[in-house]
Chains A and B, each alone.
Chain A
Amino acid sequence: MSLAEPAALPRATSAAPRLHVLKRFTAGFTASLPAYLLLLPSLVFLALFTYGAMGRVLIDALYQRTTPKAPVRFIGLDNVSAVLADPAFTGVNNLIYAVGTAIPSIGLALLFALALSRTSAVTSALRAALFLPVLIPMVAASALFLFIFLPNVGLLDSYIGRLLPVLPNWLGDPDIALSAIMVITIWKNAGYHMLFFLAGLQAVPEDVMEAAHLDGAGPFQRLRYIILPELKPTFLFVTVIATLNAVTQVDHVFVLTQGGPSNSTNLVLFYIYQQAVEHYDVGKASAATLLTLAALMGLTALSFRTLADRESGP
């Protein structure tokens, strides 16, 4: 997820321009022609690279190709049910991963933002330090952690090793591997989320805070009754970003565990990749893609509605 994307999201929700175009379309095609012509280039590219691909996935999901010699067979929804029946495709890993990365990283981000909300030379330096992990590409960060997690001789073990009798095999134990992956994600995303909270804190009205001060509200009361309610839209937005990240980021899984050991770190996106390139099963990969897309779209629609409600509210 790039830095530029979130800024564009809230704007896209307003439904007014589309209605407007529709009205003009009924009024006269000629009048709207230039608009369509102007839209044409982006429509062509959208059709080619977004909707075309999605349509292709939809079609592929309905067919089965077992071996190169066997003909491609129409099997309807069998691929979808096969994916749902596959123990490797449990949403459970993703759910644990999403919840286990979103909540701690948002909590940490809020803590950092509250602590560093005033601008001074020291806080600027600290902000930069906390933001640093965001600037490291996920693959590079994972490669770093590969050495940190190395059993017996890694950075982590050489410190913790003095305390424990048998050292945990961080990436080789199915009970720990997912948590290890989650730690990297939290480390990497907390600084990114902090940025949104810092922005959100700027929007907390100064006069309300002053009034609370005069009324004798303590720091905790100010946090509980003024700052947190004012940050609600930021919370919603960051939660959406964090959840989407949990589904769309798998670079560290590729580098560190490849879904293993025993599928304990197999996230949905990695599963799709496995089906497509390792098992050579395009049908099943497409079916899994469809399921993931549906879940993502549902999630996005839900969050946009919540955001829109919020915007149109008082």
Chain B
Amino acid sequence: MLFPRRLMLGLAIAGTLAGALAFPALAGEGPTEIDLFFPVPVDGKLARDMGTLMKEFNETHPEVKATAVYTGSYDDTLIKTRAAIKAGKPPSAVIMSANFLLDMQIENELTNLDPLIAADGTTKEKFLGQFFPALQGNAVINRSVYGVPFHNSTPLLYINADQAKEAGLDPNKPPQTWAELTEWAKKLTKREGDKVMRWGIAIPCAYDYCGWMMETLTMSNGGRYYNEEFGGEVYYDTPSMLGALTWWNDLIFKHKVHAPGATPGPAVSTSFISGNAAMMMLSTGSLTYVRDNAKFSYKVAFIPRNVRNAVPIGGASLIIPPGLEADKQKAAWTLIKWMTSPEKSGWWSRATGYFAPNMAAYKTPDMVDFLNKNPDAKTAVEQLDVAKPWFATYKTVPVRKNLEDEVMLVLNGKKQPKDALTAAQKAADETLKPYNAETSLKLP
């Protein structure tokens, strides 16, 4: 009785040992293991959706084993990716905020995707042609492809339709201009004596979101924010941006329809959902969150214009860091192509609220069905006609913070818009100085 048991135990141990010894040999022929860094920049359950996506990829691609690694916000994802590259263990692919690509390319932290596209027997033009034209500006640097658009957004105006009706406004005819929006906000703000019970509009301002909203307002005021062709210039101290910031300032201090201070994105969406703010400007990426949580009927509309209809794109592209082994690079490319295919692109769009960058996604039957049921998802796609690239410069984050810190002072009533923009321009010029010294100011 005892003997067989001991024998079995011995066999089991021997088996384990043999397995352990054999394992390294097996690993060489097993699936290529790759990591994908992904951020969660907006509200909702993106992390769970990403898990579903990876599971499906691994089931359909036995030769690759992809693991999704959650890396925080867009800014955090950049930091973690850079740390991993520095440590010599780069992830195989990263969902990177679309406006960081230029900065990373300058720092030699991106793989040029042209050879991979060529190896598939297609051309750059044909490959890029799958995606909406507005998205190409942030993916192509010096006529080479460095990123593949994965999920993208534009800012939208969200309106609480019930509250609009109650205030005698027609939510089916949303405000088209800043003047109309100001009127709406005034009518929608509810006061009891001096106390504000409900704000007319909320616009987010926290690091990252604040710069994007400033670009949104500046562009709809005819401005550009930055030089699209060259990473060493930003246009902060300009009439178009001054008008944008002054209007934002007026909404708070003159019209008193916007809460004072800098309010982060999640606080804005929470205010809207809880009925404390009747309108908000927020990313398309929050659409699913609003759809799932709003207990009232809502409308989405284009960002109103002052000079022209124009908005920046937002969202992220898939990139491949440099210094990967060939098999990992190949596996990462397979993953990227799979994730940006029409079907998956459409699925991710429906799950998150981002629009699908792949135009063919909108021809898939699932997507046609979905858009019929949720016509609000169409607005972001229609707004793409007037969308432009997202600001990208040398050291994008510090240059953006140079502006954001000053804007926050204005929103808190500590500084006048003109002084703030002069200071922001000066600070940004200082940050950009080393790059200009090596490019635009390096003369023969």
A211 at interface, CB cutoff 8 A: no
CB distance from A251 to the nearest CB of B (A): 14
The range of chain B's interface size is 35 or more
Q: Is the CB of A174 within 8 A of B409?
A: yes
Find B412's partner among A166, A173, A277 (CB 8 Å cutoff): A173
Residues on the A chain within 8 Å of B412, using CB: 169, 172-175, 261-262
Number of A-B contacts (CB under 8 A): 103
What is the CA–CA distance of A63 and B107 in the complex, to the nearest angstrom?
Answer: 18
A233 at interface, CB cutoff 8 A: no
Contacting chain B: which of A54-62, A66-74, A195-203, A295-303?
A66-74
Among A153, A166, A261, find the residue whose CB has the most chain B CB atoms closer than 10 A.
Answer: A261
Residues of A222-259 at the interface with B, using a CB-CB cut-off of 8 Å, are 258
What is the CA–CA distance of A24 and B122 in the complex, to the nearest angstrom?
Answer: 77
B233 at interface, CB cutoff 8 A: no
Q: Is the CB of B270 within 8 A of A153?
A: yes
Q: Is the CB of A279 within 8 A of B395?
A: yes
What is the CA–CA distance of A174 and B411 in the complex, to the nearest angstrom?
Answer: 10
B31 at interface, CB cutoff 8 A: no
Residues on the A chain within 8 Å of B434, using CB: 66-67, 70
B56 at interface, CB cutoff 8 A: no
**B192 — nearest CB in chain A belongs to which residue?**
A165
What is the CA–CA distance of A77 and B107 in the complex, to the nearest angstrom?
Answer: 25
Known contacts A67-B435, A166-B260: A280-B107 contact under CB 8 Å? yes
CB distance from A167 to the nearest CB of B (A): 8
Q: Is the CB of B276 within 8 A of A152?
A: yes
Known contacts A153-B276, A169-B263: A260-B408 contact under CB 8 Å? yes
CB distance from A180 to the nearest CB of B (A): 12
Q: Is the CB of A67 within 8 A of B438?
A: yes
CB distance from B414 to the nearest CB of A (A): 7
What is the CA–CA distance of A279 and B435 in the complex, to the nearest angstrom?
Answer: 13
What is the CA–CA distance of A68 and B110 in the complex, to the nearest angstrom?
Answer: 13
Find B398's partner among A68, A70, A279 (CB 8 Å cutoff): A279
Find A260's partner among B75, B79, B404 (CB 8 Å cutoff): B404
Contacting chain A: which of B193-201, B222-230, B241-249?
B193-201
Q: Is the CB of A261 within 8 A of B405?
A: yes
Find B414's partner among A153, A174, A263 (CB 8 Å cutoff): A174
A278 at interface, CB cutoff 8 A: yes
Find A262's partner among B259, B395, B406 (CB 8 Å cutoff): B406
What is the CA–CA distance of A69 and B105 in the complex, to the nearest angstrom?
Answer: 12
Among A151, A167, A174, find the residue whose CB has the most chain B CB atoms closer than 10 A.
Answer: A151
A204 at interface, CB cutoff 8 A: no
**A174 — nearest CB in chain B belongs to which residue?**
B412
What is the CA–CA distance of A172 and B210 in the complex, to the nearest angstrom?
Answer: 12
B47 at interface, CB cutoff 8 A: no
What is the CA–CA distance of A165 and B256 in the complex, to the nearest angstrom?
Answer: 13
A155 at interface, CB cutoff 8 A: no
A150 at interface, CB cutoff 8 A: yes
Find B260's partner among A68, A169, A260, A277 (CB 8 Å cutoff): A169
Residues on the A chain within 8 Å of B82, using CB: 277, 280
Q: Is the CB of B262 within 8 A of A165?
A: no
CB distance from B78 to the nearest CB of A (A): 9
**A277 — nearest CB in chain B belongs to which residue?**
B79
The range of chain A's interface size is 20 to 34
Residues of A141-189 at the interface with B, using a CB-CB cut-off of 8 Å, are 150-153, 164-167, 169, 171-175
**B109 — nearest CB in chain A belongs to which residue?**
A68
Find B259's partner among A152, A260, A279 (CB 8 Å cutoff): A152
Q: Is the CB of A68 within 8 A of B405?
A: no
What is the CA–CA distance of A175 and B106 in the complex, to the nearest angstrom?
Answer: 38
Q: Is the CB of B79 within 8 A of A151?
A: no
What is the CA–CA distance of A290 and B183 in the complex, to the nearest angstrom?
Answer: 55
**A154 — nearest CB in chain B belongs to which residue?**
B267
What is the CA–CA distance of A140 and B75 in the complex, to the nearest angstrom?
Answer: 20
Q: Is the CB of B207 within 8 A of A172?
A: no
Residues on the A chain within 8 Å of B194, using CB: 165-166
Residues on the A chain within 8 Å of B75, using CB: 278
Residues on the B chain within 8 Å of A70, using CB: 434, 438
What is the CA–CA distance of A68 and B105 in the complex, to the nearest angstrom?
Answer: 10
What is the CA–CA distance of A65 and B141 in the complex, to the nearest angstrom?
Answer: 24
B84 at interface, CB cutoff 8 A: no
What is the CA–CA distance of A112 and B207 in the complex, to the nearest angstrom?
Answer: 39
Q: Is the CB of B207 within 8 A of A258?
A: yes
Interface digits, B255-271 against A, CB 8 Å rule (1 contact, 0 not)? Answer: 00001111110010011
Known contacts A174-B414, A278-B397: A260-B270 contact under CB 8 Å? no
B274 at interface, CB cutoff 8 A: yes
Interface digits, A261-302 against B, CB 8 Å rule (1 contact, 0 not)? Answer: 111000000000000011110000000000000000000000
Find A150's partner among B106, B267, B435 (CB 8 Å cutoff): B267
Q: Is the CB of A165 within 8 A of B259?
A: no
Residues on the A chain within 8 Å of B414, using CB: 174, 262
B83 at interface, CB cutoff 8 A: yes
**A87 — nearest CB in chain B belongs to which residue?**
B427
Q: Is the CB of A67 within 8 A of B261?
A: no
**B256 — nearest CB in chain A belongs to which residue?**
A166
Among A66, A150, A172, A258, find the residue whose CB has the most chain B CB atoms closer than 10 A.
Answer: A172
What is the CA–CA distance of A256 and B75 in the complex, to the nearest angstrom?
Answer: 15
What is the CA–CA distance of A141 and B57 in the complex, to the nearest angstrom?
Answer: 37
Interface digits, A124-153 against B, CB 8 Å rule (1 contact, 0 not)? Answer: 000000000000000000000000001111
Q: Is the CB of A260 within 8 A of B405?
A: yes
Q: Is the CB of B106 within 8 A of A172?
A: no
B108 at interface, CB cutoff 8 A: yes
**B434 — nearest CB in chain A belongs to which residue?**
A66
Q: Is the CB of A260 within 8 A of B196?
A: no
CB distance from A70 to the nearest CB of B (A): 6
Residues on the A chain within 8 Å of B395, using CB: 279-280
Residues on the B chain within 8 Å of A151, using CB: 259, 261, 263, 267, 271
Residues on the B chain within 8 Å of A277, using CB: 79, 82-83
What is the CA–CA distance of A88 and B302 in the complex, to the nearest angstrom?
Answer: 38
Residues on the B chain within 8 Å of A260, using CB: 206-207, 262, 404-405, 408
User: Closest 5 CB pairs between A and B?
Assistant: A169-B261, A66-B434, A172-B261, A261-B408, A172-B262
Query: Interface residues, chain B, CB within 8 Å of chain A?
Result: 75, 79, 82-83, 106-108, 193-196, 199, 205-207, 259-264, 267, 270-271, 274, 276-277, 394-395, 397-398, 401, 404-406, 408-409, 411-412, 414, 431, 434-435, 437-438
Q: List 13 A-B contacts (CB under 8 A).
A: A68-B106, A70-B434, A152-B259, A152-B276, A169-B260, A169-B263, A171-B264, A172-B411, A172-B412, A173-B262, A175-B412, A262-B408, A279-B431
Query: Interface residues, chain A, CB within 8 Å of chain B?
Result: 66-70, 150-153, 164-167, 169, 171-175, 258, 260-263, 277-280
Known: A66-B438, A67-B394, A166-B260. 9 other contacts (CB 8 A): A67-B107, A165-B196, A169-B262, A175-B412, A260-B206, A260-B262, A261-B409, A279-B395, A279-B431
